[in-house]
Chain A
Amino acid sequence: KQEVTQIPAALSVPEGENLVLNCSFTDSAIYNLQWFRQDPGKGLTSLLLIQSSQREQTSGRLNASLDKSSGRSTLYIAASQPGDSATYLCAVRDSNYQLIWGAGTKLIIKP
């Protein structure tokens, strides 16, 4: 059974720092992995989608990598800003086409 874990559950860093959020999954047989951002009480905004054949995707200050063999994905945020404060969730599309979610990392960027 596929399980997705995000560690840490919460992270607080000063503005301007580069940071990495982690997502790990137990079964490497996946179709894709998607990173989302969620502001408090709001819906989910898709950030990056990585297909199983890809190693990374980039959008602006965000870069997501995927290593299927080790069951890991990282979301790199460069030059963090207070507006980046949110909860970041990763979700894996498993071999049964089910979307399996992590519980998220709550990120706080201190001005």
Chain B
Amino acid sequence: EAGVAQSPRYKIIEKRQSVAFWCNPISGHATLYWYQQILGQGPKLLIQFQNNGVVDDSQLPKDRFSAERLKGVDSTLKIQPAKLEDSAVYLCASSLDSAGIYGYTFGSGTRLTVV
């Protein structure tokens, strides 16, 4: 089965600019997650979708971050405007069930550098 696809792999932007990341989960996986991973730390959940509905976005900085999953498949994560502290790897993951009982599959991530 094809894995979780993410693009771009790398992005360098100046602070106050905007950026968008794209994710295509494994076919049939209803649940999609966006994580932020700062160097040396474990991933931090930003948002969880079940089909095209939001299950958990409690840690998403909503003043600058937004995410959507319009047709319950692909998803985009946007940052506008970016800050220096947003430099991180942004990881997309999907799971078969909303509880993650069968585990997660992650994409390769997008490394964002804000200068």
B42 touches A46 (CB 8 A): no
B45 interfacial contact with A, CB 8 Å: yes
Contacts of B89 in A (CB 8 A): 41-43
**A window 1-51: CB within 8 A of B:** 4, 31-32, 34, 36, 41-46, 49, 51
The listed residue with most A CB atoms (<10 A of its CB), out of B42, B91, B98, B106, is B42
The main secondary structure of chain B at its interface with chain A is loop
B41 touches A36 (CB 8 A): no
Contacts of A93 in B (CB 8 A): 99-101
Chain B's nearest CB lies how many Å from the CB of A66?
14
Contacts of A98 in B (CB 8 A): 45
Q: What number of A residues sit within 8 Å (CB to CB) of B?
A: 23
B52 interfacial contact with A, CB 8 Å: no
Q: What number of B residues sit within 8 Å (CB to CB) of A?
A: 23
B61 interfacial contact with A, CB 8 Å: no
A86 interfacial contact with B, CB 8 Å: no
In the assembled complex, the Cα of A102 lies from the Cα of B44 at a distance in Å of 11
A45 touches B106 (CB 8 A): yes
A32 touches B104 (CB 8 A): no
Excluding A43-B91, A43-B106, A49-B103, 15 further A-B contacts by CB distance (< 8 Å) are A31-B99, A32-B101, A34-B103, A34-B104, A42-B108, A43-B89, A43-B108, A44-B91, A44-B106, A45-B106, A93-B99, A97-B98, A99-B100, A99-B104, A104-B42
Report which B residues bind A (CB closer than 8 A).
4, 6, 40-43, 45, 89, 91, 93, 98-109, 111
Report which A residues bind B (CB closer than 8 A).
4, 31-32, 34, 36, 41-46, 49, 51, 89, 91, 93, 97-99, 101-104
Of the A-B pairs whose beta carbons lie under 8 Å apart in the complex, a sample of 10, sorted by A's number, is: A31-B100, A31-B101, A36-B106, A42-B109, A43-B4, A43-B106, A93-B99, A93-B101, A103-B42, A104-B42
